[in-house]
Amino acid sequence: MKRYAFGLLVVLATSLMGSSFAVGKVGLSYVSPLLLVGIRFTLAGAIMALAVTLKNRRLPVITGDWARLLLIGVFQTTAVMGCIFLSMRTIPSGETSILTFVNPLLVVVLGSAFVGLRYRLYQWIGVIVGFAGVFVTLGFHVQFSIGTLLGLGSALAWAIATLLVKKWGERFDNWVLTAYQMLFGGLLLLVLSLSMETPRLILNWTSSGVILYLAILGSIVQFATWYYLLSKGDPGKTSAFLFLAPFFGVLSGWLILGEVIQWYVYVGGIGIFIGIFLVNWKAKNKIGRKKD
């Protein structure tokens, strides 16, 4: 793939990731948080599930594999998106996006502690720099608000999902994995909406546009573009571009919502981006398993 085409697709994917935070916050004026993400991912997952069925993609044939898809959906969609949208009720969407994309740093910590992955010194330096960035982003203190904890919770859930996909991913067709984890996670979010909140849905042009944007562009197009990039380039190097997503999250929060972000959030965000870049830089060639 030519570099300019690769670059354009990177910008497309990461801008869709980042802008979904601000667009989602607009939707919260019309739809309750869990219901909004439940509709988003149930719709997106159903469309993708239909597509993979029509294209005769390989579906799981044993109950255990369907259970694995469900568990991935619980962490990747239900927990991540539930935490994100609940977080944005109390803190700016840009700050939520920064906290969410701490997840590559947590992958290093959890992967080393529980999965037996090993990392080079500069990757551990990246973890330290990244967590220092989180500390700065939080205003140089650790008195976490509920929104902050939920933002970090989304990062933790994403890191767990990443390790589950690493462990089980080879069992599934990528498109089947994407479709059904979104569908299962979205359906569970709808159930949680009925049990944990008072569902609220005001249908108008704005709310309908938000739902369609999040489901079609922010989910299907985003995932399709990102997986295409991963298939065409080195996964480690490509993943380093994820640091652009919170940049677009902050930028879209300013453009769409007029959010004012404090100076230390930008400074901390830069630290997080540097840390994520160090962790992901040439990760494919540098990460292995500890010797028994």
> Per-residue DSSP letters for 243-288?
GHHHHHHHHHHHHHH-PPPPHHHHHHHHHHHHHHHHHHTTHHHH-E
For 232, residues 6+ apart whose C-beta sits below 8 A from its C-beta are: 1, 6
Question: Residue 1: its pLDDT value, please?
Answer: 66
Is 202 within 8 Å of 35 (Cβ atoms)? no
pLDDT value of residue 287: 44
Residue with tokens 């390989």: 58
| CA of residue 159 relative to chain centroid, distance | 9
Q: CA nearest 85: which of 126, 134, 44, 27?
A: 27
So where are the chain's domains?
Answer: 3-289
For residue 92, give the 3-state DSSP assignment: coil
Rounded Cα distance, 101 and 178, in Å: 19
For 233, the enclosing helix (H) or strand (E) is none
Consecutive 10-residue runs of the chain (292 residues): their mean pLDDT? 80 89 91 94 94 90 93 93 89 80 79 74 79 70 74 90 84 88 95 92 94 93 81 63 77 82 76 75 49 40
